[in-house]
């Protein structure tokens, strides 16, 4: 079975792996289009969802986002791309902390 990569004209609701709850989490984070999702990438989109107050997404959302962008089932992503995604998430978190600390004025 061939994987189908989403196009810019696709609606987030049309993407594989993303159900209504995932869509609602993305919308709460200000992500409404495939173009926005593709621009951010799965890791940064997941990080944006995590920043929403009261949000507590599981890593299954990260797998689903990557699968939505690549056309892979989320279980395949979890099995085959877990380590690289977790490392990228850690890098993104560290970069955000560095940016935040450098933006804080010293006294």
Whole-prediction pTM: 0.83
Instruction: For residue 11, name the pLDDT band (cuts at 50, 70, 90).
Output: confident
Which pLDDT value is given to residue 9? 56
pLDDT at 106 over 60: no
Q: From residue 78, give the alpha-carbon distance in Å to each of 7, 12, 63.
A: 23, 20, 6
Which pLDDT value is given to residue 7? 60
* Interatomic CA distance for residues 104 and 42, integer angstroms: 28
Instruction: For residue 89, name the pLDDT band (cuts at 50, 70, 90).
Output: very high
Residues 6+ apart with CB under 8 A from 23: 12, 13
Q: pLDDT tens, 26-84? A: 999 999 999 999 999 999 999 999 999 999 999 999 999 999 999 999 999 999 999 99
Which pLDDT value is given to residue 50? 95
* Interatomic CA distance for residues 92 and 47, integer angstroms: 8
């Amino acid at each position: 079975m061939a994987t189908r990569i989403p196009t810019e004209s696709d609606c987030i609701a049309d993407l594989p792996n993303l159900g209504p709850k995932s869509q609602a989490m993305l919308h709460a984070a200000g992500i409404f289009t495939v173009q926005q999702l593709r621009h951010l990438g799965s890791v940064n989109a997941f990080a944006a969802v995590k920043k929403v107050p009261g949000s507590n997404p599981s890593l299954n959302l990260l797998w689903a986002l990557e699968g939505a962008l690549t056309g892979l089932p989320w279980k395949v992503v979890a099995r085959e791309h877990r380590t690289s995604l977790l490392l990228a998430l850690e890098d993104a978190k560290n970069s955000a902390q560095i940016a935040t600390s450098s933006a804080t004025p010293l006294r």
